[in-house]
């Protein structure tokens, strides 16, 4: 029996850089039973049958090349739920978490299985920071509203240090259309050899949001959310997104969000958790920022300032 994804009236795409909080935002946007959660389909997902990887790419508007059309056909199968997903494993997983994944899978295959079985679905949220450069393509081709989550660069730097994940600039340089459309005057920036993996990650932050924020200016229905605003006012920020995305709101969801983000939770993640959605969110920014030494904050600011100052004040970097 085919899965009736034609009943889904609203599609949203939560994205940003890795470690920007897309998992917790994807979680709170999919509290209603009628909203499916598709967790990182571009990170280990594949089409069924031929098992072609759903690797993301930038597709220029109007691109009718064979490569663009092939990518569109693969992504169309995602929207029909005609895909599979592999279980993700992390070195930091505790033994209990490894055992749980062996039974039910990681978030990706687990939530995909629920979505395929959900007879009530009327909306779906695709959550995937790996697919960030496909945001405009998904919007134009599949009527999917991007929700761009932005995390302060210094706070992000502390989070990347904790897990040892380091995004690389190579992904931009190997896409000629992306370079021509957004970095034609910054070839040296894309090719630069960075003195540390941390500063390369900050260059990656700058490049990502240079593209996404320029795109968001063209489309007034795109949603841009600062991670810090969500942390300070999680219920208000989430309810605004529910309204913008036409998702059904309930006071029960507000209570759940308060439970996930309230002061009774630890500020630091629990042991053995790469991702921990149950945190004291109000104190998160200061804790992460203050974990980065002042001299390092200054070097980060030098890399990101022209993009970051559109969203954050210089004072937020605590440079002095």
Does the pLDDT of residue 268 top 60, yes or no?
no
Other beta carbons within 10 angstroms of residue 62's beta carbon come to 7
pLDDT the model gives residue 278: 45
Tokens at 51, concatenated: 């098992």
Residue 96: the pLDDT is 62
| pLDDT per residue as tens digits for the range 189-202 | 999 999 999 999 99
Task: For residue 201, give every residue at least 6 positions away whose Cβ sits within 8 Å of its Cβ, in sequence order, or none.
Answer: 156, 157, 160, 166, 167
pLDDT over 90 for what percent of the chain?
77
Distance CA 303, CA 307 (A): 9
Look at residue 274 in the predicted model and tell me its pLDDT: 45
The answer to whether the beta carbons of residues 147 and 30 sit under 8 Å apart is: no
Q: Where are the beta strands (DSSP E) in 186-284?
A: 223-226
Residues paired with 223 in a beta bridge: 147
Task: Give the tokens for residue 196.
Answer: 């540390």
Q: CB under 8 Å to 157, separation ≥6 — which residues?
A: 198, 201, 202, 292, 296, 300
Where does residue 22 rank: exposed (0-12), middle (13-18), buried (19+ CB within 10 A)?
A: buried
More confident of the two residues 274 and 201: 201
**Count of C-beta atoms within a 10 Å radius of residue 214:** 13
3-state secondary structure of 223: strand
- For residue 105, is pLDDT > 70? no
Q: What is the pLDDT of residues 126-139, one digit of tens each?
A: 999 999 999 999 99
Banded model confidence at residue 270, pLDDT cuts 50, 70, 90: very low
| End-to-end CA, the chain | 63
Element (H, E) at 254: helix 251-261
Asked if 62 and 137 touch (Cβ cutoff 8 Å), the reply is no
pTM of the model: 0.90
- β strands within 87-204, DSSP E: 123-127, 144-150
Residues 6+ apart with CB under 8 A from 143: 11
Would you place residue 290 in the very low, low, confident or very high pLDDT band (cuts 50, 70, 90)? confident
Give, in order, the Cα–Cα distances in Å from 172 to each of 5, 60, 144: 33, 14, 23
pLDDT of residue 320: 83
C-alpha count within 13 angstroms, C-beta hemisphere, residue 70: 8
Alpha-carbon distance values, 214 to 46, 182, 208 (Å): 30, 9, 10
Give 141-190 pLDDT, tens digit per residue: 999 999 999 999 999 999 999 889 999 999 999 999 999 999 999 999 99
Beta carbons within 8 Å of 202's beta carbon, 6+ residues apart: 153, 157, 300, 303, 304
């Amino acid at each position: 029996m085919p899965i009736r994804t034609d009943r889904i009236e609203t599609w949203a795409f939560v994205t940003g850089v890795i470690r920007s909080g897309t998992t917790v935002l994807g979680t709170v946007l999919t509290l209603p039973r009628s909203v499916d959660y598709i967790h990182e389909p571009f990170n280990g997902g594949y089409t069924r049958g031929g098992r072609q990887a759903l690797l993301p790419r930038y597709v220029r508007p109007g691109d009718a090349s064979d490569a663009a059309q092939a990518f569109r056909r693969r992504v169309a199968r995602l929207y029909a739920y005609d895909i599979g997903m592999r279980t993700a494993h992390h070195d930091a997983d505790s033994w209990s978490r490894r055992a749980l994944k062996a039974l039910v899978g990681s978030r990706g295959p687990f939530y995909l299985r629920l979505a395929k079985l959900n007879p009530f679905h009327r909306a779906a949220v695709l959550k995937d920071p790996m697919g960030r450069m496909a945001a405009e393509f998904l919007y134009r081709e599949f009527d999917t509203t991007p929700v761009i989550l932005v995390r302060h660069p210094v706070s992000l730097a502390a989070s990347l240090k904790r897990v040892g994940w380091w995004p690389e600039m190579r992904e931009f340089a190997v896409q000629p259309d992306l370079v021509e459309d957004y970095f034609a005057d910054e070839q040296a920036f894309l090719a630069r050899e960075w003195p540390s993996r941390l500063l390369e990650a900050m260059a990656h932050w700058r490049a990502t949001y240079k593209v996404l924020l320029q795109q968001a200016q063209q489309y007034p229905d795109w949603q841009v959310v600062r991670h810090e605003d969500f942390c300070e006012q999680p219920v208000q920020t989430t309810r605004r997104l529910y309204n913008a995305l036409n998702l059904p709101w309930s006071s029960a969801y507000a209570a759940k969000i308060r439970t996930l983000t309230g002061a009774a939770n630890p500020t630091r993640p629990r042991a053995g958790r790469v991702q921990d959605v149950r945190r004291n969110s109000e104190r998160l920014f200061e804790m992460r920022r203050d974990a980065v030494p002042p001299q390092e904050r200054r070097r980060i600011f030098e890399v990101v300032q022209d993009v970051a100052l559109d969203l954050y004040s210089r004072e937020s970097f605590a440079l002095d």
